Every structure is written in C-alpha cells, then in structure tokens.
Chain A
C-alpha cells in the first residue's frame, strides 16, 4: 500500500492543474489516468477558442508544471475499488495496486455525445457527416478530406434536446463552432459555410467579437433553426432539412460536409464513480456540496471534485476550478 496526500483521478486539464498547484504546496500527489497519455479531451482539440491557442502547447505547459518529485503519474490505470477506512481513502486499481490518501480529487471529466444516437443526422451512415471532434483532425491535417464547397455546422447535437434526454446546454459548442467555421473558411477560402443554431450563447470574453468577425470578415452564414434530418443525395452529397425560425420558412440545403457540434455528457468514469460513492447529481455529473460556497467539496469528507466532471466548463474555467480545488484540499490536509 502506497500512501499519498492526495490522489487525483483523471489526468486532463483539471487533474494536471490541481496536481501542479498541490505539488507547490509540497503535497505528495498521485494522478491516476485511464488512458495511455495525459491530457484528457485536450488531446482531441487542435486549437482552442477564442484565441486559437494551440492545445498541444497548453498541454505541454501543463505537463511541465507537474514534473517534480511530488507528483507521480500512473497511466493506463482504471479504478476497481474506492473505500473509506478510518478517515483514509483506499483505492485498488485494475492492476491490483493499492494506494491510500487522505484526500481524493475526482477530475474524471466529460465524454462527447455519441452523435449516432441522433440517427436522423446520419453520423456513421453518410461519410460526409462528421462531428466537431472529427473536424479537428481535418483542421490539424491529421486526416485529409476532399475540399468541400459547402459546409454546414449543426449546433446543439445532444444538448438542449429532450429527445435524447439532455436538457442542458453544453455551453462550449456555440463558440467552438464559430472558431471551427473560421478555421474551415481559412483552410478552404472558396467554401460556403453555414451554421444552424437555436441561440448563440457567446458568454465569454471576446466571444461575441469573434462571432461578429465570423460574419463580417469571413462571410459565414448563421441561420436560426433546428435541423430535422439529413439525407443523402444522388450525387454523394447530403441534404439538410430545417426550418428558418426567423423567417418561418422551411429550407433545404445541400452540403458536401456536415459538422455535428456534439455536446458534453458526464464521462463513463464520472458516472461509475458517482454511482459507487453516491455523489451523482443531474445527468450523472458529480454534485458539489454548494455551488456558491463549497463548489469543490462533496458530501463525503475528503472527496473533492473539479472541472467538467461537475458540469460543462470551458478550459479556462476548468483550470480555475482545479486551482480552487487544490486550495481547498491544501486547507483540508493541514
């Protein structure tokens, strides 16, 4: 049995940032990550909104920050058991290693919505229907794609949708679509880019400006209306059926590439641990003790939460939340 001051479950931005902060407080930290690499969902994105910062660089910096003797990392590691014994949290991982710590930080994050559940949009059925995650790979050059003439973004796929059981707003997809639309336009200057939205929620710093820029400088067309279905055409394109709810008119649009802006859902790990410890809240995200006053605490002593395992957050929000969690944990440990 190895003992640490804190065990962090999840090696994404939240876990990494919290580990870095705790190590500065001279606390011994173990990060348990289920994947073979650190970074979490950051690995899926090429550039970040709203400033097109490189996610690779960010990740590099985050990892640099934890390179010290106080932090240990265990990759490819899943959790088999979590138990409290006399004020200590004991963990058994899938390799049957045993650890214990006074504090546990859950930073198990989110999963992207499985777009094939909205089968009417044809994801995994028509090759030219992709998700925002797939698009990042095209934008980064990792995957190549024939130059599209018409690109359509569909917002709120799996968010604010009673039909899939997700009533919440995933918050990040609006601005992400604006960012990606601009990138598409930069990559394929001759393409026409359309974006179907319910509302555009430009809540963050300089988001609204970017949105205006997308329209004015890049000529991207934003249409308010929900897409009902996507279907194939004879020429290998896809046709979109929607209603323009500002003009109250049905529209059909033929496109070469459709990008589904997939929302966020509690990750598998979040759901699992939430059930195990009975700290799951709405939509299986973790429930913090008090949103205003004790947002990193849970109802269990010594269990802390940070980042998107709690609710939808952008990266800057996640990092701040992780820093706050580190502070809470430090107080708790001393």
Chain B
C-alpha cells in the first residue's frame, strides 16, 4: 500500500464498500439457499451450457444498457442507462487512469475513486485523453441524474402517470445517490482550481471557483463525497437500489430455467428485489387507467411483500391479465407471485370432489380421436357450444364432448384464488378422464382452460384452443369459409394471448371470413374485458369501467362485429353492448361454412 496515496477521508468509502459486499453476500447466499428442489435441479442442469453465455449477454444488455426500458420509454431508458453504464465506466476508466498513473496494476483500491485528489501533476501515459474521458463520463452520469431529478419533480413530463412512493431507507439512499456525483464534481473542480489538473468540465468549473477560498473547503468536499458513497452503500441493500445487483442474478437464474413455484422461495425474493420501481407497471394497468385504483399495482404489491406489510386486498385486487408482466422491463412474474400470496389453506379432513366419477365420461366412447372440453364459461354462452358442434360435424371430425354434463372444471379459477389443493384434485381427475379416453387431441373453447391444460397439466396429447383447431381445419381443407364484405375487429383474450402467443390463428380465420381491422391495443398489448375471474375485489361499477375502456378501443374502427375467442370476454362485453354485435370466432365461422 502506498501511504502517499492515503487520506483519512477514504475511510467512510472503504467502510461502505465492505458493508455492502458483506450484505450482498448474505442476501445472495440466503436466497440461493432457499431455492426449492426443482429450482436447484434446473440450475444444476443448465449452469454449464450456452444458456450461461446468453445470460451474460442479457445481463449486459439489460442491466447496463436497459434495452427494455428504452423500448417502452426512451427518456427513462436513457436515465437508467446513463446512471448504470456511466457509473460503471467511471470506475473502470478510473481504474485504468490509476494504473496508468502508478505504472503498476496494483494500486490502492480507492485511488480510482478519488484520483484527482491524489494526482500530483506529473505526466503519465494518455493523461489528456483519460482526463477528458473521465469528465465526459461524469457529464453523462450527471445528465441522467438531472433527468431523475426532473422525473421526481414532474413525473408527468416523462410520460409516467405516477412514480412510486418511498420508504425512509429508500429516501436516505436516494438522497445520498443524488449527492454523490454533484459532490464529486465539486470536489474535483476545487482540486482543479488549486492543482490545475482538471478536464474540460472540472477545470472550467475550477477556474470559476478559483476566486473563492478553495483551500478551505477542498478536503471537506472530498469527505462529503466519500460519506455520500458510504451512506449509499450501507443503505442500498435495504432499498430498491438492491435491484442493481439482484437483477443480474435473476437474469442468470431465469436463463437457466428457474421459475416461480407455488410457494415463496428464494427465487421469489430475488424477483422481488429485482424490481427497480420504475413504475412502468402502473401505467399499463387498467385498474389504474380505467378504474382509477392506483395503489394495488405490481410495484406496490412487490414493495409490500418485500417490506412484509402486504395487505390481502392488494394481493387479491388484480385481474391477473399480465399486462404488467408483459411491460415489466425486468420481466418479473408478478402475477405468479400474487398467486403465491393468495394461497388458502384447505381443511385436509374434507375431501374435495369425491362425487366426480372419472370413468363415467368416456366409458364406451373410446373411438373418437378428439376430445372437446367446452369449459364452465362456455356453458353460459351456449351459442359457442352449438357452433363448435356444427364445426365438428361439417369437418366430419368425431369427438367426445367430455364436459357436456358440466361435470368438471379445469381448476384454474380455483388456482387463481389460491385454492391450490382443490385445483390439484380437479387436475388429477380431469387428467385421468383425458388419459383414459385414448384420444390424440384435446380441443377447448375456453382460453382459461387452454392456459391450464397447456401450462399446468402435464398432458401427453396435443392441446388446442378452438382458434387453433379451426385454423388447422382450414389448412387441411376440411372447412370452406365464404368471405363476406363485413368489417371485423378481434379482441385477444388475455389467457391465450400473452404467454400463449395465439395471435396469428384467429387473424387468419377472421381474414378468410371478412375484413379484419386493427385496433389500438392488440396482440400482446390487448386489454382485459373486465370480467376476469381472478379479481374478487372489484365491484361491478369498477369492472364496468374496465369493460367500457376496452369496448371503446374495439368499437373505434366502427366494426360490424367484434370477434373474440373467449366465452368470458363475450359474456362481459354483452353487458355494455348488444349481444348481436359480439361473436365468438367459432360462431362467425359456423355461420359462414
């Protein structure tokens, strides 16, 4: 250690760094320790594979360049980018500068941080370039900081409706973060006033300061800079800024195939701590934009889970529409975490659904290659069932209608409400009905059931939503549709759009019947119909606000019919709109064969 290069003001900084790394180590180890078996197995399986390389690339892209935020909101993206990338480069180039100055690789660890103070004016390689670059980087970071400041003051200016509320430790960290770079600028400039070692920025400012008694406050400024760093490092692990490090870990785990399980695990903590509270999820949530409920969105939910202050109503007040998940630049599975927090302990003494006799439904009907499962919601829109029957007949496809007697539910609504054990019983029963049938394809009319069969069941037969099935029939030439001169729009139901990516099939079908017009919110940006079974907190007026927001978008092009492919969406829309105008895709197909 070179004691010429030491001043007591580096102590707070050094102390902060040590505390930060101890805290980080404790947090990371405890999270990883609390992963469940499946999650650990995933890591073991994929850690040595290309997935790791992909994760490195993604970490650079997201944590340094914040590409996803850029895509949603370029100004916000720049803000994150300048702070993250700029700061890192200040450290890296600072180190390069220190190495160049000392002429050896090992320098005092703080030298890069407080370089201008210790530099004595002697020449070293690339001196001018490095000084310029360092000033430039400082400028870059300060510009981001300025944006952050403006965002805080006029959050609307950046297109955000609302920024998030802060806890006390958040506030300390925030204020110290805001102080770090201005203090660094002042400290370096005052040193430049005396030593004339600044760059274009610090020297110019230094020249201005030279008229003041700079000698008196130059050391205190370096002290203040160091203390600001110390405060930020000490508080950071307990604030949203923890996301800076956690997100990297999250990216790796996700790339290795780790997903949320049904209980709170270390992975849940990692997800929660990866939220930067950017607030993007507030803006896309219809509970906010239509129903004017603005304290339940993912960012608040995650904050409350993290602070152990979660109110059950917040966990429940969500449509599970996944709009926020789609928009979240970090890709946090907030809806999965909500489901974890909706868990309701069942009474183990009471057996569930014993009365369902699984053998009854397919007995003696083993001949059909197709199973049709309408789903509970479809049973309240019997027009869809009628149309599907017609389509099966016209295509000459034999099928078994397994829930014709409305005997069984796929279990997803229960699961969404946290009745996992009950849902599990239904899943087993229905799985055995499906397995025993010997069929090869399962067709369902309900996106909720589809989501459940495709992602929650482990079925070894092909699962199709009826949009996919009809599209296959058209491809095979089994259905001949006649094209009419009608104006149609399509509403993508949440459960088959985001996450299941069924976007093209319905559009191809609709275009072979009429003229499909696009709407403002379509495909993965689709809105919720307002009828979501996942939200039991909303009252009917609030739900109606969501419905009319969505209908407004759909009726904008003035279509003859609004087509959807979900019985629940259809049913919900008819509350505000004549039933003659809203059709399920199967109905319009059935009418045009």
A residues at B contact (CB < 8 Å): 114, 116-117, 119-120, 122, 125-126, 162-165, 229, 231-232
Which of the 9-residue segments B175-183, B227-235, B574-582 touches chain A?
A: B574-582
B313 near A: Cβ within 8 Å?
no
| Chain B positions within 8 Å of A122 at CB level | 382
A162–B540 touching, CB < 8 Å: yes
For the complex formed, measure the closest distance between the CB of B565 and the CB atoms of chain A, giving whole angstroms.
16
What A residues does B379 contact at CB under 8 A? 120, 229, 231
Is B386's beta carbon under 8 Å from chain A?
Answer: yes
How far is A121 from B317 in the complex, measured between Cα atoms in Å? 30
Within the assembled complex, what's the spacing in Å between the Cα atoms of A17 and B589?
A: 49
The answer on a CB contact under 8 Å between A114 and B386 is: no
Contacts of B576 in A (CB 8 A): 165
Q: How many angstroms between the C-alpha atoms of A163 and B571 in the bound complex?
A: 9
Q: Whole-angstrom distance from the CB of B226 to the nearest CB of chain A?
A: 63
Shortest B381–chain A CB gap in Å is: 5
B383 contacts the other chain (CB 8 A): yes
Instruction: Decide if A231 touches B382 in the complex (CB within 8 Å).
Output: yes
Nearest Cβ in chain B — how far from A112, in angstroms? 13
- Known contacts A125-B383, A229-B379: does B571 contact A119 (CB below 8 Å)? yes
Interface size for chain B: under 10, 10 to 19, 20 to 34, or 35 or more residues? 10 to 19
Interface of B toward A, CB cutoff 8 Å: 379-383, 386, 406, 540, 544, 570-571, 574-576, 578-580
Task: Give the shortest distance, in Å, between B365 (CB) and chain A (any CB).
Answer: 14
A-B contacts, 9 listed (Cβ < 8 Å): A114-B578, A116-B579, A117-B575, A120-B381, A125-B382, A125-B386, A163-B575, A165-B544, A229-B380
Q: Are A117 and B382 in contact (CB under 8 A)?
A: no
Q: Which residues of B contact A162 (CB under 8 A)?
A: 540
> How many Å from the CB of B41 to the closest CB on chain A?
45
Q: Is the CB of B406 within 8 A of A119?
A: no
- A165 in contact with B380 (CB, 8 Å): no
Q: How far is B380's CA from A165's CA once the two chains are assembled, in angstroms?
A: 17
CB pair B574 A117 closer than 8 Å: yes
Residue of A nearest to B574 (CB): A117
CB distance from B536 to the nearest CB of A (A): 14
| Interchain CB contact (< 8 A) of B406 among A117, A165, A231 | A231
Q: Which residues from B are CB-within-8-Å of A117?
A: 574-575, 578-579
Task: Report the minimal beta-carbon distance from B462 to chain A, rounded to whole angstroms.
Answer: 28
Q: How far is the CB of A72 from chain B (nearest CB, A)?
A: 35
The reply to whether B574 and A119 contact each other, CB–CB distance below 8 Å, is yes
User: Which residue of the partner chain B has the closest CB to A120?
Assistant: B380
Contact at A119–B579, with CB atoms within 8 Å? yes
Chain B min CB distance to A231 (Å) = 7
A119, B576: Cα distance in complex, Å: 14
Nearest CB of chain A from residue B402's CB, rounded to whole Å? 15
Q: Which residue from chain A places its CB closest to the CB of B539 in the assembled complex? A: A162
Q: Are B381 and A164 in contact (CB under 8 A)?
A: no
Closest residue of chain A to B405 (Cβ to Cβ) is A231
Q: Closest approach, in angstroms, between the C-beta of A154 and any C-beta of chain B?
A: 14
> Across the interface, which residues of B come within 8 angstroms of A232, CB to CB?
382
Give Cα A231–Cα B383 distance, bound, in whole angstroms.
11
Q: A125 CA to B386 CA in the complex, in Å?
A: 8
Q: A116-B579, A122-B382 are in contact. List 8 more A-B contacts (CB 8 A).
A: A114-B578, A114-B579, A117-B579, A119-B382, A125-B383, A125-B386, A165-B540, A231-B406
Please report the C-alpha to C-alpha distance between residue A165 and residue B576 in the assembled complex, in whole angstroms: 8
Write the nearest CB–CB distance from A56 to chain B, whole angstroms. 31
Which residues of chain A come closer than 8 Å to B578, judged between CB atoms?
Answer: 114, 117
Q: Which residue of A lies closest to B531 (CB)?
A: A163
A8 to B460, alpha carbons, bound, how many Å? 69
Tell me the complex Cα distance, A165–B544, Å. Answer: 9
Residues of B within 8 A of A165 (CB): 540, 544, 575-576
Determine which residue in A114, A119, A120, A164 has the highest number of CB atoms from chain B within 10 A of its CB, and name it.
Answer: A119
Give A121 to B465 CA distance when docked, in angstroms: 25
Question: In the complex, A114 Cα to B581 Cα: how many Å?
Answer: 13
Give chain B residues whose Cβ lies under 8 Å from the Cβ of A229: 379-380
Minimum CB–CB distance from A309 to chain B (whole Å) comes to 20
Query: Which 7 interchain pairs have the tightest Cβ spacing?
Result: A120-B380, A116-B579, A117-B579, A117-B574, A162-B540, A119-B381, A125-B382
Closest to B379 in A: A229
- Cα-based distance from A27 to B23 in the complex (angstroms): 92
B548, chain A: closest CB distance, angstroms: 10
A119 and B380 within 8 A (CB): yes
CA A125 to CA B540, docked complex, whole Å: 27
- Which of B381, B382, B579 is the most central at the interface, judged by chain A CB atoms within 10 Å of its CB? B382
Which residues from B are CB-within-8-Å of A164? 574-575
A315 to chain B, nearest CB (A): 27
Across the interface, which residues of A come within 8 angstroms of B574, CB to CB? 117, 119, 164
With a CB–CB cut-off of 8 A, which chain A residues contact B383?
A: 119, 125
A118 to chain B, nearest CB (A): 8
Cα distance, A162 to B580, chains bound together (Å): 20
**Interfacial chain A residues near B386, Cβ < 8 Å:** 125
> Which residues in B have their C-beta under 8 angstroms from that of A126?
382
Give the Cβ gap from A149 to chain B, nearest Cβ, in Å: 23
Kindly state the separation between the CA atoms of A232 and B374 in the bound complex, as whole angstroms.
Answer: 14
| Closest chain B CB from A317 CB (angstroms) | 29
B550 CB, min distance to chain A CBs, angstroms: 15
Q: Chain B residues near A114 (CB, 8 Å)?
A: 578-579
CA of A222 to CA of B261, assembled, Å = 51
Give the shortest distance, in Å, between B531 (CB) and chain A (any CB).
9
When distances are taken between beta carbons in the complex, the residues of chain A under 8 Å from B571 are 119
* Nearest B-chain residue to A167, judged by Cβ: B540
Question: Which residue, of B544, B570, B574, B580, has the highest number of chain A Cβ atoms within 10 A?
Answer: B574
Bound: A231/B405 CA distance, A: 9
Q: How far is B576's CA from A163's CA once the two chains are assembled, in angstroms?
A: 10
Q: How far is the CB of A156 from chain B (nearest CB, A)?
A: 16
Identity of the chain A residue whose Cβ is nearest the Cβ of B384 in the assembled complex: A119
**B-side contacts of A163, CB under 8 Å:** 540, 575
Nearest Cβ on chain B to A50's Cβ, whole angstroms? 33
Chain B residues closer than 8 Å to A120, beta-carbon distance? 379-382
> Measured between alpha carbons, how far is A29 from B380 in the docked complex, in Å?
49
Least CB distance, A127 to chain B, in whole angstroms? 12
| Minimum Cβ distance to chain B for residue A73 (Å) | 31
CA distance A126 to B382 in the complex (A): 9
Complex CA gap A3/B576 in Å reads: 40
A163 CA to B575 CA, complexed, in Å: 7
Chain A residues closer than 8 Å to B579, beta-carbon distance: 114, 116-117, 119
A125: chain B residues within 8 A (beta carbon):
382-383, 386
What chain A residues lie within 8 Å of B382 (beta carbons)? 119-120, 122, 125-126, 231-232
A180 to B406, CA, bound (A): 32
How far apart sit A232 and B540, CA to CA, in the bound complex (Å)? 30
- The smallest beta-carbon distance between B273 and chain A, in angstroms, is 41
Nearest B residue to A165 via CB reads B575
Residues of A near B381 (CB, < 8 A) are 119-120
CB distance from B527 to the nearest CB of A (A): 19
In the bound assembly, the distance between CA atoms of A232 and B578 in angstroms comes to: 24
How long is the Cα–Cα vector from A120 to B575 in the complex, in angstroms?
13
* B contact residues around A119 at 8 Å (CB): 380-383, 570-571, 574, 579
Q: How far is the CB of B563 from chain A (nearest CB, A)?
A: 16
Q: Specify the chain A residue showing the minimal Cβ separation from B386.
A: A125
B540 touches A116 (CB 8 A): no
A162 to B381, CA, bound (A): 18
By a CB distance below 8 angstroms, the chain B residues around A116 are 579-580
Nearest CB of B to A136, in Å: 22
Q: How far is the CA of A176 from the CA of B406 in the complex (A)?
A: 33
A residues within 8 A CB of B380? 119-120, 229
Q: Closest chain B residue to A123 by CB distance?
A: B579
Closest chain-A Cβ to B564's Cβ sits at a distance in Å of 13
Considering the chains assembled together, what is the distance between the CA atoms of A122 and B385 in angstroms? 11
| A residues in contact with B544, CB < 8 Å | 165
A116 to B581, CA, bound (A): 11
Cβ distance B571 to chain A, nearest Cβ, rounded Å: 7
Nearest neighbor of A161 in chain B, beta-carbon distance:
B575
Per the bound structure, the CA–CA distance linking A91 and B178 in Å amounts to 68
CA distance A162 to B406 in the complex (A): 24
- CB-nearest residue of chain A to B547: A165
